[in-house]
Every structure is written in structure tokens, then in C-alpha cells.
Structure 1
Amino acid sequence: GVVICFTGCAVVSQVQDFGLLDVNYLVTGDVGSSCDVEFCTAGDPPVSTVLVINGNSVEPVTTGASFQILSPNYLIFGQGMGVVGQTADIPLLISTVRPLDGFQIAGEYDPILMTLTSVQASGVAASAEFVALSENLDAGEIAAGLIMALDTSTDIPIGDDQEVLNLQFDVSADLGGATAPLTTPVNFVDSAGTPPITNKIVDANYAETPNLVNGAIELVDFNPFVRGDCNSDGGIVNIADGISVLQYLFQGGATPSCLDSCDLDDNGEISVGDAVWIFSYQFAGGALPMAPFPDLGIDPTTGDGIGCNGDADDQ
């Protein structure tokens, strides 16, 4: 009960939707279930719902409430990238307030644009002992599961936006008549595969369907590269990349397979200045190479006439 003032020194005036009492509940039900709360007479001795006006008990009109039990946990399809006629990938992320033994997912994508080829444990789940893609999928379906340790000795840790899985696709060469660049959704569905797989996270005997956040893959007709990796060895940009620029320019060296990676200042031309940029970055505290750097990415200035590995700019 609530008493405004024991001596009658204060009262509540005529108001609407006035907050008078906060009630906290311990949630014990399953995620997705609901609970109704109604006014009643309860307790010993019995307590009923009344208002006191001028010392008199008045039974008010009451309205109950309903609670929907929501999960604090999330399964998230992230943002991915793919190249026309080559491959695409997208990460699966988990946000969880409890350690998890594993999970399973059900999703869908556009099979005209892509074909799912594999799933790989990644990020905080890279050491998982079991990861599998359902062998009975219709076109456009995703159904996969992961277990960290078969003896449940290892968990996915508590944390937000943690990568746990990477999904790989083959991208159609003609996109079914569509034109790149385009963005295609990767969505969760209630179930996929045969037998049906649903979306669950698991901690020992506990399982729930968490909040589900859809993602997307950007499909482009340009190859990703790292600016400065002129010799395309996939390693850290170093002195050898600067020498590759000079050999190409002055010693009749082979044309780099990805000219865009040699264009350090992204001006659409390969010159001695690009080699100097590498040496300056490496040894004199010079500026970083232009994007994409240091991670693999797409040239932000596509259409400049310098391409990579036969992409749309390398014609």
C-alpha cells in the first residue's frame, strides 16, 4: 500500500496516469511466453484494491497489464561482401548474457544470386569441436549448428556482437539478369532444412529462441584488395611492394596482377610516387596507403581505369 502522508498533510489532486507505485518482478517464464497481471484481493489478512478519499474507501475502476517475456540475447546476421562470379561471405554474430554451449540457425537468401557452400566456425567460436551445415536444404535455405565442445567444457563467452560463424557462398556470374552493385538480404526464418532446424541458443539444459537480427550482402563487380600489396603476396605491405612498383615502371617487370594495389595515392596512375609512398610509410613515418588499407576491401574510386585481377576496371 501507499500512504501519501500519515497526518493528512498532503493529498494527490485530480490527475490522470499518475505514477504511484513501481513493482518489480523476477522473470521465471520461458522467452516468448506472456503473463497477465490483474488487480484482486489477496494476502492474509486480505488486502483489496481501494483508494482513500476523505477517509472513505473507494473501489476504483482497474485495468490489468500483460508482460511479454523477451530475451536479452541476440543472433545477428552481419554485413557481408561478395564479388560477381566469385564468392561472398557473411558473419554470424552472437550477443549473450550467459555462456553458451552452442547454437543452431535457420535462414534464407536469394538462390538466384548465390549458392551457400559452407559454414566455418570463427571468432570466439573458432575452436568449436562441431560445426555442420544441413545436408538436406532447399535452394535458398540456411540450416546450421555449432557445438563448442562435445563434453560441454568450453563455452561461447558472455559478450556483445561476437563473431561465431562465417557463411560462404558462390556468387552467380550473371546474377540472374540483375546488375551489380546490389545488396541482397540474408534473413532468419522460423525453420529450414529437413528435418527442420530452428533458431536456438543452448546452455546445458536451457534453450531459447533469442532476438533475431537480419543481415545483408553487398555484391560488387570489383575484386577486393589491400592497397600497397603490389606483389599480391597477401602479406604486410613492405619494401618488396615498393620494389615491385619500380620493376614494373623501369625494368620491364611483369604487370602486377592487381594494379589497383600499386596505386598508393589512388589517383588512377602508377608512378614512382607510389613506390616513394611505400618507402615513406615503411621507414619515415609517412602517411598510410589510401583505402582499402590495411584490410581487404573494394576500391572507393571504381571506374578510374585501374583494376584488379580482371575485374570491371581491369579491362
Structure 2
Amino acid sequence: MHLVAVISVAMISSVLAQDTALFLSGGSGVTGDSITSHVTLDSAVEVQGWSMGICHDTANLDVTAAQDGPTTMIINGGGPPDFNELNVLPDGVTVGVVISFVGSNALPSGTGYGLLDIDYQLTGVPAPRGFPIDATVSFCNTLGAPAVDVVIVSGGASLIPDQTNAFIQIIPPPDFCLDLSCEGGVTDSILTWNECTPFDYVLVHRDGDLIAMLDAGITEYVDAGLDPGTYTYALLGVVFPDPTSAPEVVSAICETQIIPITADGVVPTAGHYLGGTEVTVSGSGFMAASDTEVTIDGQILVDLVVLDDNTATGLVPVALNGIGVFDVRVVNSLGEATLVGAFTYGFIRGVVNGDSQLDIGDAMYLAYYLFVGGEAPDCLEAGEVNGDGMIDLADPIYLVTYLFRNGPMPLAPFPEAGLDPDAANGLGCDP
């Protein structure tokens, strides 16, 4: 008696040690589609029967049908099981199967056995341009009264199998749109776009001519090597919703200008009429040709260096036409760009001796001019330091007081070069 019990326990323990696994398959579709979820079995042991419940996300899925899988239909010597109870409930499906009451047939060990197929209608409605809905289908022990357990029967023992659940994804409805952005450059047009729903392909037209057909997933196109001018682009995004439907086509239009060279700014914006101020000019296309020049009032910058396609530096030459506001031009064989009135040739009040720097030499220059017959300053207004409207002894005294006794600084323009803020009442500056 004890021996029989020991043998029985040993047999059951041996069965329980084996692996069995149930799998649910998922799928994807749009609202209203029907998806079939397949229940399959992998087992390393002989199987005499099974029971299970399969629950689903009732907010987003409805069960429309359930039927035996291909294995179940022929499992009992080529026919159906001796016992097969299949129930479709509002919140899931239950099934109980005994292959053979007399043990004449069983399911041998193996993989991929098709036990059950369940058809679901996708009822959830994702928001347009939103995220998909992941509706769950899962094995469960909560359906029926009494509840049906998920078990595999082998050797008279009820085994709890490994269980792999699944999602049925409900895809947002197509919302076809094409947000297009175009940017012109020196020689290239750059087209970028966003797609609400990925296109199957995109057609690119320039001025009415087809220039490219792009595969799905590409969202940028560079139209390179263009001549200067204005170009109109039309993009057509094409989507085939399904193999039997006509394609959906969405279009967008944009325009670009190809300007071979541009000028955006100059720093600093003012310098002394004697020249020597280092300036940096920014823009684009500076290296599109090898003959780029930067000029102020028609004169090329001294020691001009084109650092890269967007930057050039150099020293301002001596003013050709006196003080005032002048254009900055960037020019090469592909074109030119002008910054109108971008640079000011000015003077620094108190600087009169020709070296563009205020020091004691300027005070002495004024004294020589006033009392020894020295030359007048090139820019008379620069010698009128204290703002009384005339050049006299008070001006060199004003300068040395500022330089050596912490006196007040000269009036504007000072310490940077600029124009006389009260030129109408000044002495003039005509170097």
C-alpha cells in the first residue's frame, strides 16, 4: 500500500516538473476591423485535456465568434474531443476539453498546437493623431460560475502552464496632412515636412516638373546646385489605405529664393575715419566663390580674411569720403549683398593729432595750433572738447585735466568713434 502511494506521488511529481505553455496571439487594425486571436500550446508532456478562460478589454473589443483550433478539430483519432464545452460570454470565452474519456487518444508532446480561435471586433476609437489603443487579451481564472481555471491535464494531474498574453492594437484613424517647410540658401533648397500619417511615397515637383519620388519614411529633401532665382515646390504625399482603395493624396506648396551671397551684419558698426578698426562681417555664401570681397564705402577691407562661409574679418581702410554713414557690401562672382548704411565713419572728440588715440599729444597739438601756428586739426569738431562751441585754451586744459587729474571726459562722441550729436551747431569735420 505504501509502495503504491510512493509510486503515485513520484509519477505526479514527474509530470509537474514538465513544461507546458499557452500563448495568445495579437494583431492590429482600425476601429471596426475583425482580428482573430489564436490560442496555441507548447507541451513537453502528453496532454489529455485542458480548460481555460480568456478575458478581453471589454471597453475596446467585442467577441464575435469562437471556434476550435485546427488541432482540437482532429485531436481524437481524427475527430473532435469526447467532451468540448465552449462558451462565449460578454467579457470573455471559456472552454473545457477532455480528449478521450477512455484514454484511447491523447495529444503527444510538441509545439504550436492550435487549440482555439477567437474573433474580436475592434470597437475602441483612438483620437485622431493620437496614440494607438492597446487592448489586452489574456488568460484568466475569473469567468464562469464556478470560475474556469487555466490548466493543462497530463498524467491525471492538473498543470498550471506558463501563460503569454497579447495586445490587439487599435490604430488611430488616418488623418492625412503634410506640414511643409522650405528654406533657400546659396545654391540649395532644403525641404522638410511632417506627416500626420506616414505616406507610402512622396513626389517632389519644382516649378511644375517632377524631380524626385521618395520612399516612405523620408521627411527631408535637398535640391542642390541651383542657379540664383525663385523656385516653387509642390509636394504630393500618397497613401494607400488598403490594397483595394484608391490612394489618398495630400499636397503642399512652398517657395524658396536662391541668393548666392547674403550679408547679415557688421560688428562694430562704427570706427575712426583714420581707419584701422577691426570689423567682422556675417552672412552666408562667402566661400561659394573664391573671389569674395568685403567693402566699406567702396574700399576693400585691409587684410581681409574669409574665415568660413558665414564670416569675414578685416581692418577698416582710411575714409575716402570723410565721416558719415556708408554701405557695407559683400561681393563675389556669384552675386553681391549690401548692408545699407551699416557702418559709420566718425571721429573721437579730443583726438586731433592723427593717431586715433587720445593722449597728451592731442593736448599739445591743440596748444601748438592755438599759439605756435601749428596745423589745424583735420576734424575741427574733434578739437572742441569742452562743448563751448569754440577751440581755445580751455580745450587743451580740459584734456590734460581729464588725462591726469580725473577730470570730466570729453563730450560725445567719446570714447568710441561716432558722429557729432549736434552737428548743425558744430565746427564741422571734413578730414
> Normalising by the residue count of structure 2, what TM-score does the alignment of the two structures yield?
0.36
Judging by fraction of residues, say which structure has more strand: 2
Answer with 1 or 2: which has the greater Rg.
Answer: 2
Structure with the bigger RCO (C-alpha within 8 Å, sep 6+) is 1
